[in-house]
Amino acid sequence: MATGSDREYGCSRGHFRCCIWRMDKRQVRQKTVDFGVGMASMTAPLYISEASPARIRGALVSTNGLLITGGQFLSYLINLAFTHNKVEEARSILEKIYPANEVESELIALRNSIEAEKADEQAIGDNFLAKMKGALSNVVVRRGLYAGVTVQVAQQFSGINTVMYYSPTIVQFAGFASNKTALALSLVTSGLNAVGSIVSMAFVDRYGRRRMMIISMFGIISCLVILSIVFFQAASHAPKISQLESTHFAANATCPSFLSAPNPTSWNCMSCLKAECAFCANGANEYSPGACLAKTSDLETSCHGQHRTWFKDGCPNKFGFLAVVFLGLYIISYSPGMGTVPWIVNSEIYPLKYRGIGGGIAAVFNWVCNLIVSLTFLTLTKALGSSGTFLLFAGYCVIGLVFIYWFVPETKGLQFEEVEQMLKSGYKPLAFKTKSTRGENQSA
């Protein structure tokens, strides 16, 4: 993972190229670990979110990401100190991973890379700051960072972690008042993320990293735009507020902002929720005008006691299931491409010597963006509404798609040395190669 010659001869190459369809025992173990880490990454934020007080939920969920970021960066710093030369051990590892006729060629390629790395280390020394300066002054590393950071930032600003962290709240935005129903539907959408990761394992080495991300982005943008339209329609058709229904409850039960509004007849359920009040639906038909009440537990109990539904996060609407369907399609679009491929790209795009530094920088960008998006989501929904927030994320994704198209090369089937040579010579979007030169020679 990190820079340093201890990754020599097969350890790094075996790790980063293990995602081939023909899987051996080592790869099965790797995928098992990946699955476990993925499950932990998905469930830990959900557990923190559900167990936290609302006023500090965002901060606690974001702290999870901050601690992961710090741990990753610390591991990169620690591993910078190691430098070893273990040829026979590397040969033994390669023999377990590669066919016998490919082991020697892999050793030769790795030996050349390590020797070049050591020559560079002698020139600039082992000091971390010197290596960082050397990385940023290296045109290959800079171009690799353009690609690596681009995909990590695009991943987070697609809004995925807001969906994963706040999926029960989003489902309630769609009009499902029951906490149990919202949680059940959110678990379904979360499970789709794991299914998408399995799809990625099957296709990422067949169709390529760049193509998977571009297709994924088109799906994400489409779903976010449709979600924005669905939430806009839901807000536009929200039930009106009836003053008669509101005064039906106890004295001083009506929302104070509604009583002081200059034009209360224009109020609907969304206006009530924006005023930090709650909507008690009409008992006969929840789409008919209902009551706007102060958000208290006593009034909630009174509302339920009259066999009415209490809405405090979203309004009753006929578009709720449509929102959940496209939320699921959004996750299905995200997971096989933007969910997994950015990490693959960052494992392949940097020269061997600077792979730890490059991957660490990209990971920091990923988790900082995660922090920003997670902290601002609920604030954005209050300021822009659910519709405006999803449309904003769609706009971010359009920008991300443009950057991916221009800055991210295809690395499928390329040796690390070939990726480095491609970055050194520069590349254009339509000139990316998807097969290694060695593969072409073999097929010829």
pLDDT tens digits, residue range 82-111? 335 556 666 666 676 667 777 777 777 766
Residue 428, Cβ neighbours under 10 Å: how many? 8
Record the pTM: 0.67
Q: What angle do CA 54, 56, 57 make, to 5 degrees?
A: 60
Nearest to 371 by CA among 156, 96, 132: 156
Query: What average pLDDT does the segment 283-312 reach?
Result: 87
Q: Does 147 fall in a domain? A: yes
Domain end marker among 311, 346, 376: 311
> For the chain, what percent of residues have pLDDT higher than 90?
12
Does residue 411 belong to any structural domain of this protein?
Answer: yes
Say if 125 falls within a structural domain.
Answer: yes
pLDDT grade, residue 270 (50/70/90)? confident
Rounded to a whole number of angstroms, the distance between the first and last alpha carbons of the chain is: 34
With a cut of 70, say whether residue 315 has pLDDT above it.
yes
The residue range of the domain holding 262 is: 238-311
**109-142 tens-digit pLDDT:** 766 766 666 666 555 555 667 667 767 778 888 8
Shared-domain flag, residues 167 and 252: no
Indicate if 307 and 345 belong to the same structural domain: no
Q: Tell whether 247 and 342 lie within a shared domain.
A: no
Average pLDDT of the residues in 68-95? 50
Same domain, 110 and 63: yes
Q: Where are the alpha helices (DSSP H) in 317-354?
A: 320-334, 341-348
**Mean local confidence (pLDDT), 347-352:** 80
Q: What is the pLDDT of residue 43?
A: 52
Q: Please give, one letter per residue, the 3-state secondary structure of 218-230.
A: HHHHHHHHHHHHH
Contacts (Cβ under 8 Å, ≥6 apart) of 382: 274
The strand pairing partners of 278, in sequence order, are: 293
pLDDT tier for residue 155 given thresholds of 50, 70 and 90: very high
- Do 77 and 101 lie in one domain? The reply is yes
What is the 3-state composition of the chain as percent helix, strand, coil, each rounded to the nearest 5? 75, 5, 25
Question: Is 329 part of a structural domain of the chain?
Answer: yes
Work out the average pLDDT over 399-409. Answer: 92
179's tokens: 């906490």
DSSP 102-167: HHHHHHHHHHHHHHHHHHHHHHH-S-HHHHHHHHHT-HHHHHHHHHHHHHHHHHHHTTHHHHHHHH
Q: What is the model's pLDDT at position 157?
A: 95
Grade residue 284 by pLDDT with cuts at 50, 70 and 90. Answer: confident
One domain, residues 290 and 328: no
- Domain membership of residue 42 (yes or no) is yes
Q: Which tokens sit at 3?
A: 């820079």
Domain count across the chain: 2
In a domain, 318, yes or no: no
* 317 occurs within a structural domain: no
Q: Is there a single domain that holds both residue 157 and residue 59? A: yes
From its phi and psi, is residue 297 left (phi > 0), alpha (psi between -120 and 50) or beta?
A: alpha
Same domain, 244 and 368: no
Q: Which of 311, 342, 359 is the last residue of a domain?
A: 311
Same domain, 304 and 439: no
* CATH assignment at residue 95: 1.20.1250.20
The chain-wide mean pLDDT, for the chain, equals 73
Q: What pLDDT shows up at residue 4?
A: 43
Confidence of residue 57 (pLDDT cuts 50, 70, 90): very low
Boundary of a domain, candidates 269, 289, 311: 311
Q: Are residues 200 and 129 in the same domain?
A: yes
B/e letters for 388-411, b = 16+ CB within 10 Å, e = fewer, are bbbbbbbebbeebbebbeebbbbb
- Condensed to tens digits (0 to 9), the pLDDT of residues 187-236 reads 676 677 777 767 777 777 788 888 899 999 999 999 999 989 988 888 88
Q: What is the pLDDT of residues 362-379, one digit of tens each?
A: 888 998 998 898 888 888
pLDDT at 396: 96
As a whole number, mean pLDDT of residues 27-42 equals 52
Under DSSP, is residue 406 helix (H, G, I), strand (E, B) or coil? helix
**pLDDT tens digits along 417-432:** 788 888 888 766 554 4
Helix (H) or strand (E) holding 246: helix 243-247
Helices 355-407 and 160-173, packing angle to 10 deg:
60
Is the same domain home to 220 and 291? no
Higher pLDDT, 293 or 40: 293
Question: Residue 75: pLDDT above 50?
Answer: no
Residues 192 and 66 in one domain: yes
What is the per-residue pLDDT for 432? 40
Is residue 316 assigned to a domain?
A: no
The pairing of beta strand 278-280 with beta strand 310-311: antiparallel
